[in-house]
Amino acid sequence: MRKLQKPKLKSKSKSKGKVNNRIKEIRTAHTKLTQEGLGKQVGATRQTIIAIEAGKYAPSMELAFRIAKEFGVPFEDVFQFDPDG
């Protein structure tokens, strides 16, 4: 059984893939939420939302699901795994 990996502050791996997200795109196109507003709704700071949108921080599963739920869209519409990233 594969060992689950903890979320990393910044992905250093070249071959393990990368989690991309469309948070900024969905947030600005379909909601009126600011980064701070989204952070308050999902229990994160504005700086963390900034880091996630910039791809500098991979959120935990819980936070990722909260963000998708806040947008009212399926999880995979917000987060995608890029194996070559």
Partner 1 sequence: MKAKNELSEAERYAWATLIATGVVFLMFWGRMTDGFQVLNLGAKDLLGLYLRVIMTFIVLHIIIAVIFAAKRGKEAQDGDVVERDERDMAIERKGSRTEFWVLAIIVQMVIFTLLFENAFPDGYTLPISVLSASGMFFVLMSGFFIADIAKRITMIIAYKS
Q: Which stretch binds partner 1 (CB under 8 A): 16-24, 27-35, 40-48, 71-79?
A: 40-48
Question: Coil, strand or helix: which one is 65?
Answer: helix
Site for partner 1 contains 48 (CB under 8 A): yes
Q: Does 11 bind partner 1 (CB under 8 A)?
A: no
From 18, 24, 40, 69, residue interacting with partner 1 (rule: CB under 8 A): 40
Q: For tokens 């991979």, what's the residue?
A: 58
39 lines the binding site for partner 1 (CB under 8 A): yes
Q: Check residue 73 and report its DSSP letter.
A: S
Tokens of 7: 């979320």
Longest CA–CA span in the chain (Å) reads 42
